[in-house]
Amino acid sequence: MTQNNKVVLVVGAGDATGGAIAKRFAREGYIACVTRRSADKLQPLINEIEAEGGKAYGFASDARKEDEVTALVEDIETRIGPIEAFVFNIGANVPCSILDETARKYFKIWEMACFAGFLTGQAVARRMVARERGTLLFTGATAGLRGAAGFAAFAGAKHGIRALAQSMARELGPRNIHVAHVVVDGAIDTAFIRDSFPERYALKDQDGILDPAHIADNYWFLHAQPRDAWTFELDLRPWMERW
C-alpha cells in the first residue's frame, strides 16, 4: 500500500448514482472501491473507470452483515489505502400498502436502507477518527422527510438513515469528520425509469429528471468543502419537481 493512495468507498455502487459518484471521485485521483452483493455486476463500472485512467476495485459484500463489513474495511485499509471519503447509497424503494406489508419485507427494507448504513458508517468512522479527517456521505430521499402513502417501510428506513447521519454529524464534526445527508428528490435517469415510466422519462429533454453525473458533482462538492463552511443536508431535485 502506498501512503499517498486516497480511497473513496461507495457502498451500493449501482449503474446510476453510485457508479457516477465512483467515477467522479476517480477523476479527482481517488481510488474507487465499489461494492455490491454481486461483484460481477461491478465489472462494467471498473472497466469504465480504468478506461478513463482511474483506478477501481470491486467487492462482493453484504452491507447488512457485520463480519463482511469489518473484513471489507480492513482489506481496503490494509491493501489499498486510507478511506478518505465514504458514500452509503443503498436504496430499497419498494412500495406497498400498510395493510398488505409483511413483517419480513419491512424488516428487509430497513436492514438494507438503514441498518447497513450504521454498520458501514461505523466501521469507516472508526478509521477516520484515528486519522482525524474524512467525509461520510449518506444518500437520502424525500421519504426521509415525510412518509408518503404506500411507502411506510421505505419512509421508516430513510427517516432512520437521516437520523443516523444527524447524530454522527453532531458527534464526529468536532473531530474533523464531515458527515452529510443528501436528499435526492425526483426521478433519476436510469433504465428502470426509462422502461417503467416512459412519460416521466420523456421529461429528460426538459431537464425534468436527475442526471446521475450531476448528482455525483454535488457529492464531490460536499467532500471538497472547507471545514469552516460545512453543509450537513443538501437537497437535489429537478427545477420542475413539486415538493
Could you read off the pLDDT of 46-104 as tens digits, one per residue? 999 999 999 999 999 999 999 999 999 999 999 999 999 999 999 888 899 999 999 99
How many other C-beta atoms lie within 10 A of the C-beta of residue 40?
A: 9
Q: Which is nearest to 127 in space by CA: 170, 169, 70?
A: 70
Helix, strand, coil shares of the chain, percent, nearest 5, are 50, 20, 30
Instruction: Write out the three cell numbers for 78.
Output: 490494509
Q: In the prediction, which pLDDT does 163 show?
A: 98
Q: Are 177 and 163 in contact (CB under 8 A)?
A: no
CATH of domain 7-185+212-236: 3.40.50.720
4 has a pLDDT exceeding 80: no
CA distance 182 to 166: 12
Could you tell me what percent of the chain has a pLDDT over 70?
98
Query: Tens digit of pLDDT for each residue in 156-197?
Result: 999 999 999 999 999 999 999 999 999 999 889 988 889 888
**Phi and psi (nearest 5°) for 81?**
165, 175
pTM, two decimal places: 0.95
For the chain, the domains span 7-185+212-236
Reported residue count of the chain is 243
Instruction: Write out the three cell numbers for 132.
Output: 482525524
